Each structure stands twice: as C-alpha cells, then as structure tokens.
Structure 1
Amino acid sequence: MKWHHVQENWPAFFDAITDRWPRADESDLEDIDGDQRAFISYIAELTAQEPGEAAQEIRDWLTGELPSDVVMDPRHDDHSISLSKKFMPEGEDEFDDDARFGDDSNDDR
C-alpha cells in the first residue's frame, strides 16, 4: 500500500497501527491526522528509535494489506463500479439497477 492510502483513510488505519505498535494512543493518532513526517516522529519516539529506523519500520508495515475498513469503504465500491463501464454495451449505465439479473432482493415475493 502507498502512504496516500493511509493519509486519505487515516482513522480507518488506527486499528492496524495499534496492532503493529500497541503503545500507540488513538488521541495521538488523531492529532497526527495522516501527516507522514509526524507519524514517523511519533513512532520513533514511541519505540525509542532514530527517525530513519522508524521510517524503515513504517515502510515495512506499508507492505501489508489494506485494512478491511478501507477496502469496504463505499467510495471504493463506487470507483470499482465506475471502472466496470468499459465492459458494458453503449447506452447502458453502470449504476443502473441490476434486478433483471436476479440478485437483488425483492420484498414483494
């Protein structure tokens, strides 16, 4: 994952951050607000490391998967749906109701 994923979805990463750095405090993370330099400084202080070592530790952490809170964000769904339009016939709207495919629930049954 890239830092912009973290920055754009900062609160969704709190659980992943506290899993990796259990001494991290949520109120401190709120104050950092996705600022990469502030986060590096915070982790360096938290772990008693040099900033360069903390930055490497964060880079290693970034090689992991996106947290499910980020992946399940409806904004990502809308983006994926929008990308699907290249597979649809001309004149169809990718955001149209798909009830004709039988996968929408129907309360009238």
Structure 2
Amino acid sequence: MKWQHVQENWSAFYDAITERWPAADEAELDEIDGDQRAFIAYIAGLEEQEAAEAREDIRDWLTGELPSDVVMDPRHDNQSIANSAKYLGEGEDEYDDDSKFGDDDAE
C-alpha cells in the first residue's frame, strides 16, 4: 500500500498500527493525523531508534494489507462492482439487485 492510502484513511489504520506497535497511543495517533514525518518521528521515539530505522520499519509495515475499513470505502464500491462483471455468467448484470436471487430472505 502507499502512504496516500494511510493518510486519506488515517483512523482506519489505528488497529493495524497498534497491532504492529502495541505501545502506540490512539490519542497521539489522533494528533499525528496522517502526517508521515510526524509518524516516523513518533515511531522512532516509541521504539527508541533512529528516524531512518523507523522509516524502514514503516516501509515494511506498508507492504501489508489494507484494513477492511479502507477496502470497503464507498468510493471504491462502483469500481469493485464493475470489476466483478468478469465473474458473472452471460446475461447477468453486476448492478442487478441481489434480492432477486433469493438468498437475502433465506432463514
């Protein structure tokens, strides 16, 4: 993932950040508010390491998966729906209402 994803969806990454850096404090993350330089400095202080080392740790962390809150962002929905068309059979429409397939009311 890119830092832009993190910056645009900062609070959605709190769980991933605290999972990687358990000592991270949510109130301090609120203050950082997606600022990459501030985050590098924060992690360097938290881990008692040089900024370059913290930057490398963060770069490694960025190779992970996007949190589901980011993936499920409504801004991505239409593109995801359009991409799903390749998995549908001939004559099916990716924008059709799912309820007509009978599985929404099943108990």
- Length-normalised TM-score, structure 2: 0.77
RMSD: 2.6
Question: Which aligned pairs between 1:30-109 and structure 2 lie closer than 5 A?
Answer: 30-81=30-81, 97=97
1:35-93, CA deviations, whole angstroms, 9 ceiling, x for partnerless residues?
Answer: 100000000000000000000000000011111121122222133336679xxxxxxxx
Distance 1:9 1:95 in 2: 27
Gaps of at least 5 residues in structure 1 are: 86-93
Aligned residues: 104
Distance 2:51 2:62 in 1: 16
Distance 2:54 2:8 in 1: 21
- Length-normalised TM-score, structure 1: 0.75
Identity %: 72
Distance 2:78 2:4 in 1: 19
